[in-house]
Amino acid sequence: MKRHIEFKDTQREIHYFRLRLALSLGFVLLLLLILLARFVYLQVMQQSHYQTLAENNRISIVPIAPSRGLILDRNGVILAHNYSAYTLEITLNKVADLKATIDELAKLIDIQPGDRKRFKRLLADNRKFESLPIRNRLTDDEVARFSAQRYRFPGVEIKARLFREYPYHEQISHLVGYIGRINEGEAAQLEEDEMAANYRGSDYIGKTGIERSYEGELHGKTEVLAFVSKPGYDPNLFIDGIDEQSWNELNNSPDVPLNNRALRGQYSPGSTIKPFMALAGLHYNKRAPSYTISDPGYFSLPGSRHRYRDWKKEGHGSVDLFKSIVVSCDTYYYGLATELGIDNIYSLFSEFGFGKKTGIDMEGEVSGLMPSPEWKQKRYKQRWYAGDTVSVGIGQGYNLVTPLQLAYATATLANDGVAYRPHLLKEVQISRTNEKRTLATTPESNLNLNSEHLALVKSAMVAVTQPGGTAAKAGADAPYTFAGKTGTAQVIGIKQGEKYIESKIQERHRDHAWFMAFAPSDQPKIALAVLVENGGHGSSTAAPIARKVLDYFLLGKMPQPLLIEDDAEGVEHD
């Protein structure tokens, strides 16, 4: 009997052991599955996110200050010039213990008490993400010693800087003067004079003498406005005569890299013309700001059953002029175009430069197309129909613009109707005489538009970039206010009753994406137009690019890789 009981106890222990073993194995398997799921999430689903973070850790982008101009006497003798030297600099927000870091650096590099005092003074006037010099003019030996120990000092790096030198020392000091670090008062004055953007990356400013009197000329300019067309080509191929294979590759490429799209690309402007349509409605007394329509999601001409669809199938409800721009209501502009008529549209749009060359100082510009009944009769031997006007009202149909034209029209709108001819070249210097000739920037025309009308349209464009507007995502968290307008231009027609589904359309047949903007909205400094060929919605592709350009120009914030969400369904217009 005793043996039987012991046998049963043993069997029970084996059972419990197996149970515990199974539970342990199950727990281990569960942990492995969790780790695998986490691995898939990080390596696959979040790959783009962490790749961007890795790039941010690897790449540090800062503004580059311009090389300060030389001062020479009438015989060409240099009175003030620049030379390059190395500095040891610390970025505060990357250093955990500043004092300990400086003490360790002092074991490698000669850091005097005066260097520490100067660095301490700089701390109070600078932001944590800026790098500050702890030692200037390092010797080659010091550079080599630090480079070998660089891994020990996160947030510390060696930079090449330009330093000012006065060869004649005290002999002409009162005449030439000197430069020094920008203090709080000077920084405030630069902000007041709206010159702060031009001093990003600059630490010094003229204090006395010629250095101060001619600070504007000596300092130079840090921003060059962009004129970009992609894809491009390597101009070095043409220097000695391009070979046949390269020429054929360029000519036969479906991406047409030889085509300067910014200058010669002609596209339907889509909804980017709606602010100009709104101005025309106000200008010709066809619309009052308070005039409201009820949008069912479509428009039909009197006596016709054909429906011109709004991009929002169910419509936008009650829509006045302000809202029509903010939500980009097609139905509003179908009706407005019909009431304006093509002659009035043509007249006002021509004043903004549509259908005309801007006159930029570059060969090969095309004029786009602002259609008219005379043009259609000459081109197609057909009369103008009411439906043609309806399509023109939302930037479709026969309308064609270049990106440069739209940027020019946007700048004219931002300037309250004052138009300036765009220039790539700022000034010319004759090498033999050093004589400089600055190109004139006088206004070419003034449209003499009603200031209240302009203010209303521009305020609606600001609302486009804010919550509820079609470009709200692009405007999110912007430290400045900017005005904009999205646009989506059809490449192929969609039949009545059909729905535009981007994923089912060949890439080269997908809609083009537009965005135009100017900023800051109250005192514009920059106007732009962005086109993404076959990019789909202006709000999701073109607008984010424009935001990065504005951030860079106004804030000195270097663009990071752009992540664009793919919307397979899409809409017809925006």
Nearest one of 60, 154, 153 to 109, comparing CA atoms: 153
CA 8 to chain CA mean position, Å: 79
Domains, the chain:
71-219 (3.90.1310.10), 263-555 (3.40.710.10)
Please determine, for residue 240, whether its predicted confidence score (pLDDT) is greater than 60.
no
The residues that are catalytic are 271
Give the range among 154-158, 282-286, 359-363 with minimum mean pLDDT. Answer: 359-363
Write out the two tokens for 308. 């011109």
The C-alpha atoms of residue 132 and residue 119 are separated, in whole angstroms, by 7
Helix/strand/coil for 434: coil
What is the per-residue pLDDT across 417-462, written as a single tens digit (0 to 9) for each? 999 888 776 666 565 677 777 766 778 888 989 999 999 999 999 9
Tell me the C-alpha to C-alpha distance, in Å, between residue 566 and each of 490, 547, 561.
18, 18, 16
157 forms bridges with which residues in the sheet? 89
Q: Check residue 232 and give its pLDDT.
A: 80
Q: Which residue type does 496 have? A: Q
Please determine, for residue 80, whether its predicted confidence score (pLDDT) is greater than 70.
yes
Q: Check residue 62 and give its pLDDT.
A: 52
Higher pLDDT, 54 or 399: 399
What is the per-residue pLDDT across 174-184, written as a single tens digit (0 to 9) for each? 767 788 878 77
Give the range among 127-141, 245-259, 320-334, 454-468 with minimum mean pLDDT. Answer: 127-141
What is the per-residue pLDDT across 482-511, written as a single tens digit (0 to 9) for each? 999 999 888 766 666 566 566 666 767 788
Contacts of 81 (CB under 8 A, 6+ apart): 70, 71, 164, 165, 167
Percent of the chain exceeding pLDDT 70 equals 80
Give me the mean pLDDT over the 39-65 stretch: 58
* Residue 96 zone, left/alpha/beta (φ > 0; ψ -120 to 50; rest): alpha
Burial class (CB in 10 A: 0-12, 13-18, 19+), 516: buried
Helices (H), 173-223: 173-176, 184-192, 209-213, 215-219
Helix/strand/coil for 251: helix
| Long-range own/partner contacts, residues 421-427 (CB < 8 A, 24 or more apart) | 421/358, 421/359, 421/360, 422/358, 422/359, 422/360, 423/360, 423/361, 424/227, 424/360, 424/361, 424/362, 425/361
Say whether pTM exceeds 0.75: no
Distance between start and end Cα atoms, the chain: 89
Q: Check residue 128 and give its pLDDT.
A: 57
CA 495 to chain CA mean position, Å: 35
> Average model confidence (pLDDT) for the chain?
82
165 forms bridges with which residues in the sheet? 81
The C-alpha atoms of residue 298 and residue 301 are separated, in whole angstroms, by 10
Burial class (CB in 10 A: 0-12, 13-18, 19+), 332: buried
DSSP symbol at 447: -
User: Read out DSSP for 343-400?
Assistant: HHHHHHHHHTTTTS----SSTT----B---HHHHHHHHS----HHHHHHHTTT-TT-B
**In which band, very low, low, confident or very high, does the pLDDT at 278 lie, cut at 50, 70 and 90?**
very high
Higher pLDDT, 370 or 259: 370
